[in-house]
């Protein structure tokens, strides 16, 4: 940490505030790549606005548990978390909202592979998409079963990544804002469960309520 503060911190600061460069013969200066997007603020240390810290709403015990449970040598976990974090960053800028969903779809695929890995460790030789979704449903006490792993996003994902498919030809990704918001919230919970075994008590309480009020 001391080395980072002494060496990397000033290096990054200088790179961010580095002026644009006008190359010989060019008509316009080459923009500093750290400041390509005008609506993305730079850090306070380089003249940007102060950070807005949250005073409440963060489960620090869960955050520590997640952090301590992440295996940095597990390439699959790192890929899934990277694309999940990247999706969260991208969606704050409307021009990157579509890319945010692309990144989120990768996180969803990684989560499926992590579930398959867990099922194989439990002795399931050839886990199916239905097996994977059942595993998640059981973990979250969910009685609303579907046949495939997050199948509600399957058609949209195919049409998004394959501009021409059996669904037809699409000039743009056939996505809606809800595709991001619902899936992102689901992925946060799925990754918390897969990484450190955490399941919010609300899920069991919901099941108990539904069973109590079933007719």
Q: What is the pLDDT of residues 130-189, one digit of tens each?
A: 999 999 999 998 877 778 899 888 888 888 888 888 888 888 888 888 889 999 999 999
Higher pLDDT, 40 or 116: 116
| Whether residue 37 is found in the same domain as residue 115 | no
Q: What's the chain's average pLDDT? A: 87
Residue 146 lies inside a defined structural domain of this protein: yes
| Whether residue 71 is found in the same domain as residue 35 | no
Provide the pLDDT for residue 144: 75
With a cut of 60, say whether residue 215 has pLDDT above it. no
Residue partners of 101: CB distance under 8 A and separation at least 6: 87, 160, 173, 175, 179, 180, 183
| Whether residue 101 is found in the same domain as residue 38 | no
Provide the pLDDT for residue 174: 82
Provide the pLDDT for residue 5: 80
| Whether residue 89 is found in the same domain as residue 130 | yes
| Whether residue 144 is found in the same domain as residue 71 | yes
| Whether residue 204 is found in the same domain as residue 114 | yes
| Whether residue 137 is found in the same domain as residue 177 | yes
Residue 55 lies inside a defined structural domain of this protein: no
How many percent of the chain have pLDDT more than 90? 43
Residue 176 lies inside a defined structural domain of this protein: yes
| Whether residue 172 is found in the same domain as residue 70 | yes
| Whether residue 193 is found in the same domain as residue 154 | yes
Residue 52 lies inside a defined structural domain of this protein: no
Cα 206 from Cα 187, distance rounded (Å) = 19
Q: What is the total count of domains within the chain?
A: 2
| Whether residue 123 is found in the same domain as residue 206 | yes
Q: Which domain holds residue 136?
A: 60-212
Residue 30 lies inside a defined structural domain of this protein: yes
Residue 205 lies inside a defined structural domain of this protein: yes
Residue 54 lies inside a defined structural domain of this protein: no
Structure tokens at 47: 């003249």
Q: Which of 26-40, 172-186, 188-202 is predicted most confidently?
A: 188-202
Q: What is the pLDDT of residues 47-63, one digit of tens each?
A: 888 888 777 778 888 99
Provide the pLDDT for residue 53: 77
Confidence bin at 209 (pLDDT 50/70/90): low
Torsion of CA 49, 52, 53, 56, to 10 degrees: 180
Provide the pLDDT for residue 177: 84
| Whether residue 146 is found in the same domain as residue 173 | yes
Helix axis angle for 154-161 and 97-121, nearest 10°, is: 120
Residue 98 lies inside a defined structural domain of this protein: yes
| Whether residue 169 is found in the same domain as residue 205 | yes
């Amino acid at each position: 940490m001391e080395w980072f503060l002494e060496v990397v911190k000033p290096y990054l600061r200088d790179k961010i505030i580095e002026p644009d460069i006008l190359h010989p013969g060019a008509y316009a200066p080459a923009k500093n790549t750290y400041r390509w997007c005008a609506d993305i603020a730079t850090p306070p240390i380089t003249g940007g606005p102060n950070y807005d810290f949250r005073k409440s709403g963060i489960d620090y015990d869960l955050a520590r548990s997640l952090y301590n449970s992440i295996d940095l040598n597990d390439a699959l976990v790192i890929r899934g978390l990277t694309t999940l974090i990247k999706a969260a960053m991208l969606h704050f800028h409307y021009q990157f909202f579509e890319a945010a969903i692309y990144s989120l779809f990768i996180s969803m695929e990684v989560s499926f592979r992590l579930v398959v890995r867990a099922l194989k460790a439990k002795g399931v030789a050839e886990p199916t998409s239905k097996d994977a979704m059942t595993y998640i449903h059981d973990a979250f006490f969910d009685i609303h079963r579907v046949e495939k792993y997050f199948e509600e996003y399957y058609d949209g994902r195919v049409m998004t990544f394959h501009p021409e498919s059996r669904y037809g030809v699409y000039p743009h990704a056939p996505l809606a804002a809800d595709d991001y918001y619902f899936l992102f919230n689901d992925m946060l919970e799925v990754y918390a469960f897969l990484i450190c075994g955490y399941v919010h008590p609300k899920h069991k309480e919901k099941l108990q309520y539904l069973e109590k009020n079933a007719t």
